[in-house]
Structure 1
Amino acid sequence: MEIVNFFETLAGKWFSQRTTHYLINQSSQAGQSNLLIEFLPHTDPELVQMCEQGHQDPSTIACGLRINQDSRLEGESQSVKRVTVMVALHPDGAGQGIILQTTPSLPTTQGHYHLDSDVLTLTTHTANGVVAERLWYANPNLRMRTSMLTLDDAVQMASFCSEIRMGAVPAAN
């Protein structure tokens, strides 16, 4: 599978159930999200603009995603709504490439992705440490996602999400 095909499978409406473990204080927190994910072709103007702002050549865009997220954490009365846009640049021969992510009010981040055996791994360096995220499918309507935040070689946070597609698998283009 190539990154464009993998991103196409992400499109749709998803329900996400998440458990996050904070290793520093040995606490856990559950959460739920509704995700609306839109596949963006390499010609999308927003992706071109992100590449230009991130000093990347827009001709290297493979595809992108727009993720509308509505999340609620256990014990919180307010939901958190945000939109994230991701752009994947064409991978090298080993299936690795650059990924840019932007969310309003947060700086654009640049990371790397690796797609191997239908498992997508994203690695991003942030001010809080290194975030490593893995996504894979149990079946076309059920995907799994894990993430870890590491700071100074020590895991600070780990999470697991199971995500169920709400509706049918989108038709292939």
Structure 2
Amino acid sequence: MTFALDLLKRFWPVLVIIALLLGAAYGLNSLYDHIYDQGQAAANLAWQDKWDKRDNYDKAAARANENTERAKEQERQLSINKVVESGQQLLDAAQAAATASRASDDSLRATADDLANRLAASQASGNSCTAASSKAAAHAARVLADVFKLADQAAGTMANAADQARVRGATCEQAYYSIGQ
């Protein structure tokens, strides 16, 4: 133990200097760690601020884009609604024309029936000897009038279907082109 005390007495200034140097190194290391942590926190804060600004810019741009796209969609829908309304007016006009045509067709059919009846009456009263042939001619006139009426009805039905198809096709085409603009 005395040997250790002798060594301590002889080297105590060196040991004190070593202890002071170790304490200073520890203090400097702690100070460096503190400064490093502060610098890193400041850098993180700066980056977080940049990211927040970028995120806010992205959100604002997304909102602006969404509003723009909604306005475009509303414009398209308004255009389509106008085209559909126009198409419905055309369909109504075609329906009114078909109704008017049916009225004139009914008049034409009545005229055909009247002519067939007159022909039958004139054939029957013209020559009593040929009553059998008159009946056949009257029957042929009646059949011809019925065929004419059926053909006229079928033509009216087909014309109505064709008008509706044409109007619906034109409406669809207008809607397509209005969306593309």
TM-score normalised by length of structure 1: 0.18
- State which structure, 1 or 2, has the greater radius of gyration over its C-alpha atoms: 2
TM-score normalised by length of structure 2: 0.17
Indicate the structure with greater helix content: 2
